[in-house]
């Protein structure tokens, strides 16, 4: 199990696997053990420092619930989820030759599966806390054929203008600034939201402690989250980022990808009829037209 370059103690731990250990679990754990042991030796980790790290992990678990995933936030702040996402994207794109698909991005700790259901053309803004009203619309398309995907669900969520998501802010109604839409027969979707604003990730837990130790800003680049799902297609989890945001190059969770940076444009006069008669229509400052391109599942 151990290799000649392993330290005796590390080799003994690696040799402790039983014959029934699953192959993939063994492969992952062997690598994890080797790297953890190597880090401890490389930095001469002290007992006090070890317990600081273990306490951070304990606090992370204690702080995590259905409204906040502190462990995922730590992963994001260290770039782990972004790294894995990029590696998996690269591998998947190479295998499936789907470079034309919309790029994925990290899920983040504030996703909720139980967002309100809306009709196209409705608003995810239940309580307006400021911000620039945006009419966001486009189509969901099959990346190979270019044909519309009807009946796909689009789960969208963003923070309010105060930089907080609904589960962080008791003054917001449950489900504020999030919603689920369904593409029509032409693959079309549309909704009202606000132009996203940058915000600091929660700074009161182990993730914040890590950022302070690294002397890094906690601010996330402004973004809107999306999840596109259809039973015949691979699920797409992504984010989009306004091109004029000042944190694009120092996003605290390393999530920004060049092809997910988009332009918010003044609303076009020709689009007035399409926007319908929603009460927010007169207040719209920005318009975004954005198509999601998704890949069918392999048979």
Helix (H) or strand (E) holding 83: helix 80-96
Domain ranges of the chain: 1-45, 80-294
Helix (H) or strand (E) holding 77: helix 70-77
- The first and second tokens of residue 274, run together, are 């399409």
Angle at 179 between CA 244 and CA 90, to 5 degrees: 60
CB distance 235 to 155 below 8 Å: no
Cα–Cα dist 298/109, whole Å: 29
CB distance 137 to 265 below 8 Å: no
CB distance 233 to 297 below 8 Å: yes
Cα–Cα dist 210/109, whole Å: 17
Tell me the CATH number of domain 80-294, given options 1.10.490.10, 3.40.640.10, 2.40.480.10, 2.60.130.10.
2.60.130.10
Helix (H) or strand (E) holding 41: helix 23-43
Say how many Å lie between the first and final Cα of the chain, rounded.
37
Query: What does the pLDDT read at residue 164?
Result: 96
Query: What does the pLDDT read at residue 1?
Result: 54
Cα–Cα dist 281/221, whole Å: 27
- In a 13 Å sphere around the CA of 256, the CA atoms on its Cβ side amount to 21
- The CA–CA distances, whole Å, from 78 to 147, 176, 207, 252, 266 equal 39, 29, 9, 9, 36
- The first and second tokens of residue 214, run together, are 């690294």
Query: What does the pLDDT read at residue 235?
Result: 94
What count of residues does the chain have?
299
- In a 13 Å sphere around the CA of 219, the CA atoms on its Cβ side amount to 12
Query: What does the pLDDT read at residue 82?
Result: 60
One digit per residue, pLDDT tens: the chain, 299 residues? 555 566 888 888 888 888 888 899 889 889 988 998 998 999 999 989 887 888 888 888 888 777 677 877 777 777 776 666 555 555 555 555 455 789 988 888 889 999 999 999 999 999 999 999 999 999 999 999 999 999 999 999 999 999 999 999 999 999 999 999 999 999 999 999 999 999 998 788 888 888 888 788 899 999 999 999 999 999 999 999 999 999 999 998 888 999 999 999 998 876 555 555 556 666 889 999 999 999 998 76
């Amino acid at each position: 199990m151990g290799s000649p370059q392993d330290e005796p103690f590390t080799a003994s731990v690696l040799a402790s696997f039983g014959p029934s250990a699953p192959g993939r679990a063994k492969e992952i754990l062997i690598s994890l053990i080797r790297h953890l042991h190597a880090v401890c030796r490389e930095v001469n980790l002290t007992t006090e420092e070890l317990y600081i790290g273990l306490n951070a992990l304990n606090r992370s678990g204690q702080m995590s619930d259905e409204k906040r995933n502190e462990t995922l936030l730590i992963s994001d702040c260290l770039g782990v989820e972004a790294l894995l996402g990029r590696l998996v994207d690269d591998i998947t794109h190479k295998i499936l030759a789907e470079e034309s698909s919309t790029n994925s991005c990290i899920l983040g700790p504030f996703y909720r599966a139980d967002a309100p259901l809306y009709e196209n053309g409705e608003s995810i803004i239940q309580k307006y806390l400021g911000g620039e009203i945006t009419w966001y619309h486009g189509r969901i398309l099959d990346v190979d054929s270019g044909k519309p995907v009807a009946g796909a669900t689009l789960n969208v969520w963003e923070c309010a203008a105060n930089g907080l998501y609904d589960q962080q802010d008791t003054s917001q109604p449950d489900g504020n600034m999030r919603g689920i839409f369904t593409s029509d027969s032409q693959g079309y979707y549309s909704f009202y939201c606000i132009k996203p604003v940058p915000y600091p990730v929660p700074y009161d837990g182990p993730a914040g402690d890590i950022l302070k130790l690294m002397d890094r800003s906690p601010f996330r680049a402004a973004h809107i989250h999306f999840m596109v799902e259809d039973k015949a297609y691979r699920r797409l989890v992504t984010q989009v980022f306004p091109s004029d945001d000042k944190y694009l190059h120092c996003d605290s969770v390393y999530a920004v990808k060049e092809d997910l940076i988009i332009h918010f444009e003044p609303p076009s006069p020709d689009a007035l009829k399409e926007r319908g008669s929603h009460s927010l229509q007169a207040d719209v400052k920005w318009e975004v037209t954005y198509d999601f391109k998704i890949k069918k599942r392999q048979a």
